[in-house]
Amino acid sequence: MTNQQRTLPSGPCIWMQAGVVKTKMCRRAFDCTGCRFDKALRHLAEENHERSSAGAAVPGRRGRIVYWADKLRALPAKRRPCLHHLKGRIGFRACTNDYLCSNCEFDQYFQDEYTVHAVLKPVGMKDVQGIKIPQGIYLHRGHTWVGMASGGQVRIGLDAFAARLLGPMDRIDLPLMGKPLQRDQVGIRMNRGDLKTGLLAPVSGVVTAFNPKISSDPAVLPADPYGNGWLLMVQPDRLREELPTLQMGTEATAFIETEIEHLYQAVETHLGPLAADGGNLADDILGQLPPTCWAEMARQFLKN
């Protein structure tokens, strides 16, 4: 992806383009999540809709505020611009899904192929007995990771230790956009045959995106857990108080070192020296263990 593709444009706010307000320029690269102007107008549009339905419409300019998508729905179908066109990312394309982007196949394709999620590059990696830990990420005790993203959002994934432990999944169930997450509660489900386990959410917030590659090809995760194998984008609501509970830098390194030692102890009970390969942990540890070990390992290392 080129630098030009990585630079998201700015311009007239979507509310202005829809004709709801006369003048408003976007200064957030069309990242509406967390935008106070967008939040205020959505709230006002909802109030106006409720009052109008009750026969108590508000006069004046304030009463004419409607949701930008409702304004655009008044246009002929072929003239209704796709949200990605409004954001300056593509040429004109008509919306074919009534502005219900969460169910739109094109939106999912676009997010998958073009939207930048600032995927971590394999630089500044700390190697702990074959387990990679990138600089700048926070680790949760349940082996999920948190990385800072644009617009105050965070990216969440499964760390390399747990990816090595769990091995390839048959299916990974990710929460949909808009789903609230609560720190230290299960937010993601991992499935392998009849075996299931959950991953604890490292922070609280609302899901703003999920990785469609993981749904179609779960093998992407163990191959690149900090890059293409990311799981969720989340708008956190208590990040300042929750980040200190996570581990970063030397704390994260020490945590992984301790977890590796505990894993060797647990696995050697069943496999002896087969748990390692050239001094490092082998891939797919649980795949080499009896199915009865799954729940025990999940409790010990995933903390669920």
The pLDDT tens digits for 211-239 are: 988 988 998 999 999 988 999 999 999 88
Residue where the block lists tokens 């922070």: 203
| Residue 193 structure tokens | 């045959």
Q: Are 277 and 145 in contact (CB under 8 A)?
A: no
DSSP type of residue 272: G
| Across 191-212, average pLDDT | 93
Closest CA to 66 of 50, 88, 54: 50
Q: What is the Cα–Cα distance from 95 to 107, expressed in whole angstroms?
A: 10
User: Among 51-55, 86-90, 104-108, 110-114, which stretch is predicted with the lowest mean pLDDT?
Assistant: 110-114
The contacts of residue 5 (CB under 8 Å, 6+ apart) are 114, 116
Domains of the chain, CATH where assigned: 3-113 (no CATH), 121-304 (2.40.50.100)
Does the structure show a pLDDT above 90 at 275? no
| pLDDT single digits (tens) 26-83 | 988 787 877 889 999 999 999 998 888 888 777 788 888 999 999 999 999 999 999 9
pLDDT value of residue 294: 87
Q: How far apart, in Å, are the Cα atoms of 35 and each of 19, 28, 32, 151, 152?
A: 19, 8, 5, 9, 10
Percent of the chain with pLDDT over 70: 87
pLDDT value of residue 10: 66
Most confident of the ranges 142-146, 165-169, 214-218? 142-146
> How are strands ordered across the β-sheet holding 195-200?
171-173, 186-192, 195-200
Does the structure show a pLDDT above 80 at 103? no
Q: Which amino acid is at 31?
A: D
The contacts of residue 201 (CB under 8 Å, 6+ apart) are 144, 156, 181, 182, 183, 184, 185, 186, 187, 188
pLDDT value of residue 117: 43
| Across 122-132, average pLDDT | 79
Q: Are 120 and 94 in contact (CB under 8 A)?
A: no
Q: What is the Cα–Cα distance from 304 to 301, expressed in whole angstroms?
A: 8
Rounded to the nearest 5°, which phi and psi values hold at 208?
A: -110, -15
| Across 157-166, average pLDDT | 94
Q: Are 230 and 188 in contact (CB under 8 A)?
A: no
Does the structure show a pLDDT above 80 at 101? yes
| Across 6-25, average pLDDT | 83
pLDDT value of residue 280: 63
